[in-house]
Structure formats: C-alpha cells, structure tokens
C-alpha cells in the first residue's frame, strides 16, 4: 500500500476512534463477571445463584462465573470482592447472614454498609418450624402450650450458634414469651436426623434442606417465618397467622459491588438482574428450591441490609450473646 494512503487511513481511523465516546470504547461489561459467594457449592443459595448466572450471562453478553469461598463466616468472600477493582466485574453475594455477622462480630475486616454498594435483590425464602410427623405437636399453638406447661423441656434444633436460624429461635423465644432449650447442630443433615430420632422436638430449617422429608411425609411443616405464606408451602400458616405478632424473618440474598463502582455498571447489572429474575423459567426453578425470586432496586436492598443489622444487634443484646 502507498505510504501516503496508509497514513491517510490511519489518520481517519484515529479521528473516528476519537469521535466514539470513551464509554462505548470501554463498554461494560468488557470481560466475564465474577460473583463471589460465601455459600458452599450445592447449597440452596448456591444452586439458585447458578440458575441465575446461566440466564444472566447472555443478557450481559458475557460469562457469569460463580466462585465459592464458604470459609470464615462470609469474611473470605467479602474481602475477595472489596480487594478487587471497583469496575463492576467482581460482585459479592451478600445476605441476611452478612447482617448477622455485622451484628455479632465486634471487628469484621469490612463494613457491609461502607465497603459495598448495592446492586439489587435476588431472592427471599422463609425458614420453617418442623416437627416429626409422628409428634403430637401439630401446630405452633401446640408447641407454645407444651413450652408453657414445662418451661425448658422442649428442645429446638437449629443450625450453629450465631446463624440466622439460631437467632430466629432466640427471637421467637423472646416474642412468644416461652422457654425452651436451644440445641445447635453443625449441618442441616444432622438436624433432620435428630428430628427423625426425636432427639429434638422442633427444628428450624430451610425448605430446600427438608423438601424430600416433607414430600415423603416423615416431617411436618407447622409454620413459616416470613410475613406472607411461602409460595412453596401455600397451606402452611405463618408465625403471625398463628397468633404471634411482631415476628417476621426471611432469609434473603442480593448482589453488592465494591464501593466506588461506577453508577453505569450498577445500573446495567441491576437492569439485567431484574429482567432475569422476572423470567418465568427462573421463577419456576427457584420455587422448586423453596426460593422466591425477589428483584429490587439498589436502594431497597441497601436499606434492608441496614435494617437487618440493627434488628439482629437487638436480638443479640436481648439474648445476652457476647459479641465475638
């Protein structure tokens, strides 16, 4: 090619590039999106996140990769995200467990309110109060009557101390004004075995962990803990419907990006996240896990995080739990 022609073409290309705004040159996303999750692979939160990622990727025009860092009470996952560039390509899955940690630990190496900016809500699910199907505790009123008849005699099984189900039991004990013995377990499987053996009288757990036992009739769901009935268990009343006012607990998940992430990236992620969560296929697959798709604005999920930290701080204070 003639030298002057090549120079003219290069100049034209340069001028055209200069006319394209920077935002279009650095179009978001420009590479894969990484979602760092504090939950173990195969957990209900993880499975629902993978369903979401599979449909969210095509909307964003890139791959959405899940990275599980289920160590240290969510600290490892949170730190991995806030130490990443704040460009929207690395985001965290935070949840009510994050709010519980912020309330329970005196010195977390991050502040969920200051070190993150909210992207949007993903999902909600109720906890369930369960009894053995052969038990004579068929309703929440039966449980309350038994607890009042013999204070401290009933055993409530939950996940480990300081987890959301454990604090849910403490909150219920206070709000209902009853006394029972709390028995924390390490894993969901251990909880179910204990209830089947009648080692505990009541268990608080998530639907995904006990779905098979509910379907085969070996366990009985007596109430759910959210403000409205669970879509997966429409015939099971809420704690509120069973006569206990001022009690409402649901587990929730949302996406959060490192602080200082550009507003354009947050807006794009929120838009595509909300559209994905509205897809009937995503809603259906979530419900099979006992999870309800719950898209929200960044402001709504940020306010929820703040409110839950305050609420669980009060529960921890009222229960006299020492901050760690």
pLDDT number for residue 187:
77
What's the pLDDT tens digit per position in 143-199?
A: 999 999 999 999 999 998 888 899 999 999 999 999 999 999 987 789 999 999 999
Q: Which two tokens stand for residue 80?
A: 């991995």
Q: Report whether pLDDT(23) > 50.
A: no
What's the pLDDT tens digit per position in 196-251?
A: 999 999 999 999 889 999 999 999 999 999 999 999 999 999 999 999 998 999 99
Q: Which two tokens stand for residue 271?
A: 């838009």
Spell out the domains of the chain, with CATH numbers in brackets.
Answer: 31-125+251-319 (3.40.190.150), 126-224 (3.40.190.10)
Instruction: State the angle between helix axes of 188-196 and 207-215 in degrees (0 to 180), rounded to the nearest 10.
Output: 30
pTM listed for this prediction: 0.85
pLDDT number for residue 2:
56
Question: For the chain, what percentages of helix, strand and coil (3-state, to nearest 5) are there?
Answer: 45, 20, 35
H-type alpha helices, 150-201 = 164-176, 188-196
Q: Report whether pLDDT(75) > 70.
A: yes
Instruction: State the angle between helix axes of 280-288 and 263-277 in degrees (0 to 180), rounded to the nearest 10.
Output: 70
Q: Report whether pLDDT(59) > 60.
A: yes
pLDDT number for residue 25:
43
Check: CB of residue 264 under 8 Å from CB of residue 258.
no
pLDDT number for residue 322:
84
pLDDT number for residue 208:
87
What's the pLDDT tens digit per position in 288-320?
A: 999 999 999 999 999 999 999 999 999 889 888
For the chain, what percent of residues have pLDDT higher than 70?
Answer: 92
Q: Which residue has the higher pLDDT, 138 or 208?
A: 138
What's the pLDDT tens digit per position in 3-14?
A: 555 555 555 545
Q: Report whether pLDDT(324) > 70.
A: yes
Q: Which two tokens stand for residue 72?
A: 């240290």
As to burial, measured by CB atoms within 10 angstroms (0-12 exposed, 13-18 middle, 19+ buried), residue 117 is buried
Closest CA to 225 of 126, 84, 299: 126
Q: Report whether pLDDT(24) > 50.
A: no
Average pLDDT (49-58) is 97
Average pLDDT (67-92) is 94
Distance from C-alpha of 291 to C-alpha of 223, rounded to nearest angstrom: 16
Q: Report whether pLDDT(1) > 80.
A: no
pLDDT number for residue 20:
46
Q: Report whether pLDDT(256) > 50.
A: yes
Closest CA to 73 of 167, 188, 164, 189: 164
pLDDT number for residue 186:
84
94 Cβ contact list (under 8 Å, min separation 6): 38, 74, 78, 112, 116, 253, 254, 255, 256, 305
Check: CB of residue 103 under 8 Å from CB of residue 312.
yes
Distance from C-alpha of 267 to C-alpha of 120, rounded to nearest angstrom: 9
- How many CB atoms are located within 10 Å of the residue 30 CB? 11
Please report which helix (H) or strand (E) contains residue 141, including its range.
helix 140-149
For residue 119, whether the previous peptide bond is cis, meaning omega lies within 30 degrees of 0, is no
Distance from C-alpha of 249 to C-alpha of 224, rounded to nearest angstrom: 9
In the predicted model, what is the mean pLDDT of the chain?
Answer: 91
């Amino acid at each position: 090619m003639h030298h002057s022609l090549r120079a003219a073409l290069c100049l034209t290309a340069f001028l055209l590039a200069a006319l394209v705004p920077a935002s279009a040159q650095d179009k978001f996303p420009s590479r894969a999106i990484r979602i760092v999750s504090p939950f173990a692979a195969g957990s209900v939160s993880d499975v629902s996140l993978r369903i979401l990622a599979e449909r969210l990727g095509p909307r964003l025009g890139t791959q959405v990769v899940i990275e599980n860092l289920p160590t240290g009470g969510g600290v490892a996952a949170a730190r991995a995200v806030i130490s990443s560039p704040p460009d929207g390509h690395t985001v965290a899955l935070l949840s009510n467990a994050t709010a519980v940690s912020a309330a329970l630990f005196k010195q977390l190496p991050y502040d969920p309110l200051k070190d993150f900016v909210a992207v949007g809500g993903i999902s909600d699910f109720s906890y369930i109060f369960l009894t053995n199907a052969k038990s004579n505790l068929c309703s929440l009123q039966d449980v309350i009557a038994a607890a009042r008849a013999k204070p401290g005699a009933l055993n409530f099984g939950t996940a480990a101390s300081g987890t959301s189900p454990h604090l849910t039991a403490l909150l219920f004990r206070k709000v209902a004004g009853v006394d029972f013995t709390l028995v924390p377990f390490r894993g969901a499987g251990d909880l179910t075995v204990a209830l089947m053996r009648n080692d505990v009288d009541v268990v608080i757990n998530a639907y995904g962990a006990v779905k098979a036992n509910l379907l085969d009739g070996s366990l009985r769901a007596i109430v759910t803990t959210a403000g409205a009935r669970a879509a997966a268990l429409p015939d099971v009343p809420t704690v509120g419907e069973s006569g206990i006012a001022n009690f409402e607990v649901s587990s929730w998940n949302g996406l959060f990006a490192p602080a200082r992430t550009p507003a354009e990236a947050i807006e794009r992620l929120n838009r595509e996240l909300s559209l994905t969560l509205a897809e009937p296929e995503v809603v259906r697959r979530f419900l099979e896990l006992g999870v309800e798709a719950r898209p929200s604005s960044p402001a709504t999920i940020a306010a929820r995080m703040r409110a839950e930290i305050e609420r669980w701080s009060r529960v921890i204070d009222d229960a006299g739990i020492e901050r760690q």
